[in-house]
Amino acid sequence: MTMNLPNTLTILRLAAAPGIVIMFLYFHRPLADWFALTLFILAAITDFLDGYLARAWKQESKLGTMLDPIADKAMVIIALVVITGFSGMNPWILLPATLVIFREVFVSGLREFLGDTAGTLKVTNLAKWKTTAQMVAISMLFATGAFEHYFGMQSLAMTSEMVDDAISGRGPDEFGLWWKYQGMVVSWWGGIIMLWIAAFLTMVTGWDYFNKARPHLTDTAP
């Protein structure tokens, strides 16, 4: 095995995947949301850096090639499971998350079956956009969780009329409810839209990968 900076970054990203769950086990919300968001963003940055550095420094290796997709899938799947849990199984999140997880498991099993042949099925630009959409969606939904908790805690002792007045500007807004509400709404809808886009791209790229693999799945394949 070749240990270099790109491979080290990949291993750190793989180790960060279960760290998202640990944030919610050992920290209270919304602190856990911010820690998970920070950890996920840092991991997403390493996803770009490890591949870029490996190519730029000519340090591409079998270890990195094997671990990179595993780390990506682990981060995305674990993050989606956590978000689905704290969203209360919201169908707007549950359905696209299910499609994403199904595709990742299906393609991983297909790649394992194909063995060395899987290496000849190159990653497309659409697949890279799919990964980007997934990471943006997950980041925004982690932010939603944090905004929701700040908004909920600071409006707990207020009547609905007081909250409405603070948000609309008709009354005092001592706790900054307006910007917390705006952050909650924007990150929620942004995250939902990006998650559905990611689910669509996920299914398209999954079908494309399956079509490319079909010649190798027949009994008469070379």
pLDDT at 118 over 80: no
- The answer to whether the bond into 30 is cis (omega within 30° of 0) is yes
Q: What is the mean pLDDT of residues 104-126?
A: 77
pLDDT at 4 over 90: no
Average pLDDT, the chain: 85
Q: What is the mean pLDDT of residues 87-111?
A: 90
The pLDDT value recorded for residue 2 is 65
Q: Which carries the bigger pLDDT value, residue 30 or residue 38?
A: 38
pLDDT at 221 over 50: no
- Residue 112 buriedness (CB in 10 A; 0-12 / 13-18 / 19+): exposed
pLDDT at 222 over 60: no
pLDDT band at 119 (very low <50, low <70, confident <90, very high): low
Q: Which carries the bigger pLDDT value, residue 169 or residue 192?
A: 192
The set of residues, in sequence order, having a beta carbon less than 8 Å from that of 44 and lying 6+ positions away, is 75, 135, 139
Distance CA 111, CA 119 (A): 8
Positive/negative CA dihedral, 21, 27, 29, 32: negative
Q: Residues 59-75: pLDDT tens digits?
A: 777 777 778 888 888 99
Q: What is the mean pLDDT of residues 158-184?
A: 84
Per cent of the chain over pLDDT 70 is 93
Range from 21-30, 98-107, 191-200 that averages highest in pLDDT: 191-200
Q: Which carries the bigger pLDDT value, residue 84 or residue 168?
A: 84
pLDDT at 207 over 70: yes
Distance CA 75, CA 86 (A): 17
The pLDDT value recorded for residue 93 is 94
pLDDT band at 124 (very low <50, low <70, confident <90, very high): confident
Among candidate residues 105, 103, 120, the one with its CA nearest the CA of residue 65: 120
pTM of the model as a whole: 0.85
Q: Residues 172-190: pLDDT tens digits?
A: 877 788 888 899 999 999 9
Distance CA 62, CA 98 (A): 30
CA angle, corner 204, sides to 123 and 220, nearest 5?
A: 70
The pLDDT value recorded for residue 120 is 61
Q: What is the mean pLDDT of residues 145-174?
A: 82
